[in-house]
Amino acid sequence: MVRLLIALMVLAGLSLAEEVLRLGAAVSFTGKYAKEGELLRRGYELWKEKVNSMGGIKVGNKRYRVEIVYYDDQSDPKTTAKLVEKLIVEDGIKFILGPYGSAQVFAAAGIVEKHGALMVQGGGASSKIYKQGYRHIFGVFNTAPDYGRNLIDLAVTLKPEPRTVAIIYEKDIFSEDAARGALERAKEKGLKVVLFEGYPKGAQDLSSLMIKIRAKKPDVVIGAGHFRDSVLVVKQLKQFKINPKFVGLTVGPPVPAFVKALGEDAEYVFGPVQWSKAFSYKDPLFGDTRGYVEAYRKKYGEDPEYHSAGGTAAAMALQIAIERAGTLDVEKVRQELLNMKVETFYGVIGFDETGKIVTKPMAVVQIQNGKPVTVYPFREAEPVYPKPAWK
Amino acid sequence: MDTVLQLLVESLFLGTFYAFMSLGFSLTWGVLNIINLAYGSYIILGAYLAYTLHIYLGLDPVLSLPLSFTGGFLLGLFFQRFLMNRVMNLEPFMVLILTFGLDIFIANALNLIFRADIRSIDVPYAERSHLLGPLIITEVKALVFVLSLILTALVYLLLHRTWTGRAIRAVALDREGARTVGVSPEKIFLITSGIGTGIALASGNLYGVLQGFTPFDGGMLTVKAFLVSIVGGLGRVESAVAGGLFLGVLEVFTGFYLGEGWKFFASLIVMFLFLILRPRGLLGGKYYGET
Amino acid sequence: MGRHDLVVLAGLLALSILPPFLTDYLERVITSALLLASLALAQNILLGYTGYPAFGSVAFFGVGGYVTAVLMKDLSLPFPLALLCGTLFSGLLALLIAPPVMRLKSHYFAITTLALQLALGELVANLEVTGGAQGINLPIYRGPGGYLIFYYLFWTLTLVAFLINAYVERSTFGYALKAIREDEVAAETLGVNTLLFKTASFTLMALITGCSGGIYAYWITYIDPTSMFDPVLSVKMFVALLMGGVGTVGGPVAGAFVLEVVSETLWGQFPRVHGLILGLLIVLIVLIIPKGIWRRR
C-alpha cells in the first residue's frame, strides 16, 4: 500500500514536471576520496528523489524535474577541473553541485567562475576557496580551522588536563587549514605543541612521523586528513604502540566505514563534524532533522553523517534560491543565495559575501561501542577519557 | 641516538626490499639493454594479484609468492616474444616510448578492474610489533626484510651456480661471443625477461604487505628501481644490494629530517646527478651490458 | 619545405579565420591541438634536427607555466610580462643545464631529462610559493575576446614554431644541427662547435615549450604539479611527432591534430577507457611505424 502511494506520488510528480532541469556534479567515485564521494552522492540523490516526488523544482510558473549528471573525478583535482569544464561547455549545464574535497572544489571553482556558472558545494571546507575573490561559489561547510579548534576546545575541558599535543596533517588545502586551526587554538589554551608536521597527499607509510611522535609521548594526537588518512593513522599509531590520552582525527570517525575498517581499534577516537543527527532543526522538505534522518535510513539502511548531509544541504540551498528567484538566471539565483537565511534540517543556512556559510555550529563525536555519538558542544553521552591503550 | 638506531633499522629493512624489487629491472637493463618503464606497473600488478588471491582464496601474500613469480615469468616471456623482440633493434629511445605506453596501458587496465581506490592486503599480523630494547620492530617490515634477503640470495645462486645463470651473464658480457660457445642469446633474452618480470610481480606481493597501493603507483616504483640500478651499477646482485641500501638510507633519513614530502624529490635529484656525473654507478665497471 | 609541409602551413593559416564557425567545444579541442603542436614542433628542433630525444621537455612547460602563474598571482604582474618572464626563465634554465646534460646520448639523455621533469614537479609540490601539491588558481581572464584569445595565442606560438622549424631546415644553423645528428664526432672534427649548437637547439626548444606552458596555465586557470609536469603529456607529444614524421616541418603539426582529435573524441565518448586506449595506441605506433620515419623522409 505504502509502495503504491509512493509510486503514485512519483507518477504525479512526473506528470507535473514535464521539463527537466539538469544539474552537474563531478564527484570522486574512485580513488582516495571514494568513500566520502559516495556519501556526498547519496546526499544529492536523496534530495533529488525528495524534490521530484514533490513535483520538482518550481521556477516561476513551471515545474522542472531534476536530473543530476555525474562524472567520476577519480579524486584528482585536475580531472575535476576538466570534468566541470565538460559539464558546463559540452553538456550545457549552468548549475554545478560541488565535488568532494577542498582541492577538488578549489579546482572546480576556478572553472565555474571562468564560465560564469554557479556552484553550491558541501564537500570543501578550506578557507582558501573563499579567498580567491570568486562570486559564483557557495559552500555549506564551516571552514577547516573550525575542525581543529573544536577538537582542542573539547580536549582542554577533560580531566586530567592534557599538556602536550602533536599535530600531523596531510599536505592538502583542507587538512593543513584544519591543522593550523588546532595549532592556533592549542597555543591560545596553553598546550605545548611538540610536533606540527605534514606528509604528502596519498602517503601510505607514516613511519618517520610515528617515530617522532613515539619519542615525544604527547597527551593529545591530532591528525588532519581525509578518510583514508584517519584509518592509516589509527593503524600506524597502534603498530608503533603509541598510546596518547586523546586521539582526534578529521573526516574519518563519523563515516560508517571507519568502524568497519578498524573494528575495535576505532573505539574512543574523536572526530569533528559539520553536522550530526543529534542536531534538531525544522526543515522545509523533510519536516525536521529527524525526518531527514529517517528518510536517509529508509533509503540507505544506515544513519546519515555529515558528508551526505552537506550534499543534501548544498542542493537544498540551490533549490531554495532558484525557487525564490523564479528564474534560471545565474545572477538572480546568486543574489537569492546571498540574501538567504533559512532553517533546514542541517542548521540555519546563510552565506557571507564570499560565499561561505556563517550561520551554523560544528560538533565533535566520539566512537563508543562502534557508533559515533556527539560529545561536544552538547552531550549525547559522556566522553571516554583518557583513551585506553590499543588492544 | 635511539632515534638514529631506529632509523638505521628502518633503512636496512626498506633498503633490502628495494634491492630485491630492483633486481629484475637491473637484470633486463643489463642483459637486454632495455630500460623498462613499465617495470613499476609490473610490481603493482603483482600487488593486485596478491590482493585478489588474499580476498578470494584467503591466501597469505607470502604463500602466493611462487604464484606471482610464475605469473610474472609467463608474462615476461609473452612480452618478450610478442613485443620486445620486435623493437630490440630499434633506437633504444623507441623502446622507452613503447614501455611507457605499456605502463599507461597496465595502470589503466588495473584502474578499470579495481578502480582507483587505495587497496591494502590486510594480513592478520599487519599491526603487530615488538619492542627490542629502545627499538620497535614492526612485524610486516621484519617479514619483508627476511623474505627479500632470502629471495635475493636465491637470485644470486641462480646467476652464479646454474648453467642458465652463467649463460645469462655470458650473454650480458658479449652476445656474439656467447653464441660461438653454443648459447643462444634469443633464448637467454626470453628467460631473462621472464625472470625479471617474475621478480617484479613477486616483489609486488611484498610491497602490498608493506603499504597500501593504487593502480597509478607504478611510476614512482620504476624511478626507485632505476635509481637502485644506476647507483650500484647494472646487472649484478651485489650492485643492486648496494643501491637498495643507499636508497633506503636516503629515503628514511630525508623523510625524517627534511619531511616526508622531500623523499621522492631527493631520490630524483640524486638520480639526475648520477646520470650526469657517474652514469656507470658507484661500483663502476662494465659487468653486464655494453652501455 | 616539401609539398606536405606547405599543405600544413595552409591549414594552419586557415585556422585563423575559423573561430566564428566553431562551437565552444570545438574551439577548445583545436586550442588543445595547437598546444600539442607547439610542443611537438619545439621537440622537433632537438630530436628531428639534432637527434637528441628530450623525453622530459615538459619540464620547461611546467617551469614556464609556474613562473607565469606565480608572477601573476603573487606580484600581480600583467599576463604578457609574466609570460615573457616564464618563457625567458625556461630558456635560462635550459641554457644552464644543457652543457652537462647534452653530453649524454640517446636513452640516457632521455631518462635524464625525464628525471629533471619529475624532480622539478616534486620541488614545486614542496615549495610554499608555488602553492605546493594543492596547485594554484590563476586570475580569470576577463578582457576582450574572451577565451578565444587563447586560441589565437596558441595559434601564434605554433606558427612561430613552425617558421623556426622551416628556418632550421634550410639554414646554416640547421645544417650544423643535422651534422651533429648524423655523426657528432665527424661534425666536431669538421670544426662545428657541437656544444654551442646543441645548447642553442636545447634552449630554443625550452623557450617555445616554456611559452606554451605559460599560455596553458592562464588558459586552464587551475594548475597543479601533476598536470604541469605530466609524463603522459611528454609521451603524447612524442607520439604526435612520430605519427607526423620526425624531422619534417609540417609533420609534428599534422600528428598533433590527429592525435588530439582522436584523444578528445575518445575522452568525450569513453572517459573510462580513454587511458587504456591511449596506452595501446602508443604501443601500436611504436610497433607499426617503420624505422625509416625515425630519420627524415
Is the pLDDT score of C294 beyond 60?
no
The residue among C288, C134, C173 whose CA lies nearest residue A77 is: C134
Give the mean pLDDT of A25-39.
89
Query: pLDDT confidence of A7, banded at 50, 70, 90?
Result: low
Q: What is the residue extent of each domain of chain B?
A: 2-277
Is the pLDDT score of B281 beyond 60?
yes
Strands across the sheet containing A220-224:
A192-200, A164-171, A220-224, A246-249, A270-273, A363-368, A371-376
Say if C25 is an interface residue toward chain A (CB within 8 Å). Answer: yes
Q: Where are the beta strands (DSSP E) in B149-274?
A: none
Is the pLDDT score of C292 beyond 50?
no
The residue among B19, B29, B23 whose CA lies nearest residue B286 is: B29
Contact flag B212-A228 (C-beta cutoff 8 Å)? yes
Query: pLDDT confidence of A31, banded at 50, 70, 90?
Result: confident
Give the mean pLDDT of A121-138.
92
At B287 the pLDDT is 44
DSSP, residue by residue, A50-70: HHHHTT-EEETTEEEEEEEEE
* Threshold 0.80, pTM exceeds: yes
At A3 the pLDDT is 59
Query: pLDDT confidence of C69, banded at 50, 70, 90?
Result: very high
Q: Could you give the number of structural domains in chain C?
A: 1
At C107 the pLDDT is 81
Q: Are A87 and A69 in contact (CB under 8 A)?
A: yes
Angle between helices B139-161 and B237-257 (to 10 degrees): 160
DSSP, residue by residue, A130-170: GGS--SSEEE-SPPTHHHHHHHHHHHTTSSSPP-EEEEEEE
Contact flag C221-A114 (C-beta cutoff 8 Å)? yes
Nearest CA in chain C to B224: C115
Q: What is the interface pTM, i.e. ipTM, of the complex?
A: 0.89
Interface A–B counts its CB contacts (< 8 A) at 79
Is the pLDDT score of B111 beyond 80?
yes
Contacts of residue C290, Cβ cutoff 8 Å, sequence gap at least 6: none
Query: pLDDT confidence of A11, banded at 50, 70, 90?
Result: low
On chain A, the residues whose CB falls within 8 A of the CB of C222 are 77-78, 81, 106-107, 110-111
**pLDDT tens digits along B174-185:** 888 889 988 899
Is the pLDDT score of B258 beyond 80?
yes
**pLDDT tens digits along C237-253:** 988 988 888 888 998 99
At C290 the pLDDT is 54
Q: Is A195 strand, coil or helix?
A: strand
Query: pLDDT confidence of B282, banded at 50, 70, 90?
Result: low
**pLDDT tens digits along C43-67:** 999 998 998 999 999 999 999 999 9
Neighbours of chain C (3+ CB pairs under 8 A): A, B
Superfamily grouping for domain A145-273+364-376: Response regulator (3.40.50.2300)
Nearest CA in chain A to C136: A107
At A12 the pLDDT is 54
Is the pLDDT score of A14 beyond 60?
no
- Residue B53 vs residue A2, higher pLDDT: B53
Contact flag A239-B131 (C-beta cutoff 8 Å)? no
What is the rounded CA–CA span in Å between residue C166 and residue C45? 10
User: Could you tell me the sign of the dihedral formed by the alpha carbons of A241, A242, A246, A248, in that order?
Assistant: negative
Q: Is A175 strand, coil or helix?
A: helix
- The residue among C47, C103, C105, C111 with the most chain B CBs within 10 A of its CB, best to mutate, is C111
Nearest CA in chain C to A198: C126
Q: Are A98 and A313 in contact (CB under 8 A)?
A: no
Residues of chain A with CATH 3.40.50.2300: 2-142+277-360, 145-273+364-376
Say if C110 is an interface residue toward chain B (CB within 8 Å). Answer: yes
Is the pLDDT score of C295 beyond 60?
no
Give the mean pLDDT of C125-147.
85
At A1 the pLDDT is 54
Give the mean pLDDT of A173-184.
93
β-strands A363-368, A371-376: how paired?
A: antiparallel
Q: Are C115 and B268 in contact (CB under 8 A)?
A: yes
At C24 the pLDDT is 78
**pLDDT tens digits along A188-216:** 999 999 999 999 888 889 999 999 999 99
Say if C268 is an interface residue toward chain A (CB within 8 Å). Answer: yes
Q: Three cell numbers at C214?
A: 605559460
Contact flag A90-C137 (C-beta cutoff 8 Å)? no
On chain B, the residues whose CB falls within 8 A of the CB of A74 are 111, 116
The CATH number of the domain where C76 resides is what?
Answer: 1.10.3470
For residue C14, the tally of other CB atoms under 10 A from its CB is 9
Fold adopted by A2-142+277-360 = Rossmann fold (3.40.50)
What is the rounded CA–CA span in Å between residue B20 and residue B240? 8
| Domain enclosing residue C242, as ranges | 3-294
Contact flag C137-A86 (C-beta cutoff 8 Å)? no
- The residue among C26, C221, C272 with the most chain A CBs within 10 A of its CB, best to mutate, is C221
Q: Which amino acid is at B239?
A: S
Nearest CA in chain B to A34: B117
Residue A348, CA distances (Å) to A293, A317, B123, B158, C50 in order: 17, 10, 46, 71, 66
Q: Are C57 and C42 in contact (CB under 8 A)?
A: yes
**pLDDT tens digits along C251-274:** 899 999 998 888 887 777 776 787
